[in-house]
């Protein structure tokens, strides 16, 4: 486990907000030289804390008006059915997130679609036909907000 100091935390918070900013710009805001900032970013990357970037797009303006979270329960269990299900579900282009969970459902999926009719198509043709799929619960996403987390 990696211990962070206050400067590391400030760097992580700044990069969560804007990962495209230069080390010089970031450093000047937190009172650190460009090389010192760069070294810290590199260490956070090497230590596996910073694992990449996410491009934020306005899904609505690109014609993707609906995001739905699905809770999926498998009808049949066993090693083979889990593997089959997992292999098939990650191949669906509209599925953005697949989590294996413990609790009321076996999997949590995040699905993006153009509108509700398009979502229905994805649900019927792609999700309900997945191997081993049982009960499915859908919740339509209205808003979301990412928090910085314990930094």
Partner 1 sequence: MRFYRGAVGLASAAPLEFLGNMILSCVISSNMHISMLDDLDRRLLRQLQADPSLTVAELGARAGVSALKAQRRIARLQETGVLTGQHAVIDWRALGYAVTVSLRITLDKTQARAFDEFIAAARDIAEVTEIQTFLGRVDIRLSVIARDMGHYQQIYREAILTLPHMTDIEALMTVATLHDDESLPL
Which positions lie near partner 1, rule CB under 8 A?
A: 1-2, 4, 12, 15-20, 47-59, 61-64, 69, 71, 86, 89-90, 93-105, 108, 110, 112, 137-147, 149-151
Q: Which residues pair with 119 in a beta bridge?
A: none
Specify the residue for token string 């090693």: 79
**CB of residue 116 vs partner 1: minimum separation in angstroms?**
11
Identify whether the C-beta of residue 7 lies closer than 8 Å to the C-beta of residue 151. no
**CB of residue 33 vs partner 1: minimum separation in angstroms?**
20
Specify the residue for token string 């066993």: 78
**CB of residue 57 vs partner 1: minimum separation in angstroms?**
6
**CB of residue 39 vs partner 1: minimum separation in angstroms?**
17
Provide CB contacts within 8 A for 69, sequence distance 6+. Answer: 108, 109, 110, 111, 138, 139, 141
Q: Please provide the size of the chain in residues.
A: 151
């Amino acid at each position: 486990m990696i211990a962070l100091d206050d400067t590391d935390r400030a760097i992580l918070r700044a990069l969560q907000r804007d990962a495209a900013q230069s080390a010089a710009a970031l450093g000047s805001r937190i009172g650190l030289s460009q090389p010192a900032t760069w070294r810290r970013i590199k260490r956070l990357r090497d230590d596996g804390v910073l694992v990449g970037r996410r491009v934020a797009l306005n899904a609505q303006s690109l014609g993707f008006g609906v995001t739905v979270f699905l809770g999926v329960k498998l009808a049949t269990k066993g090693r083979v059915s889990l593997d089959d299900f997992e292999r098939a579900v990650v191949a669906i282009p509209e599925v953005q997130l697949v989590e294996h969970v413990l609790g009321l459902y076996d999997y949590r999926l995040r699905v993006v679609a153009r509108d509700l009719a398009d979502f229905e198509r994805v649900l019927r043709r792609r999700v309900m036909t997945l191997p081993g799929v049982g009960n499915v619960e859908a919740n339509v996403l209205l808003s979301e907000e990412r928090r910085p987390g314990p930094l």
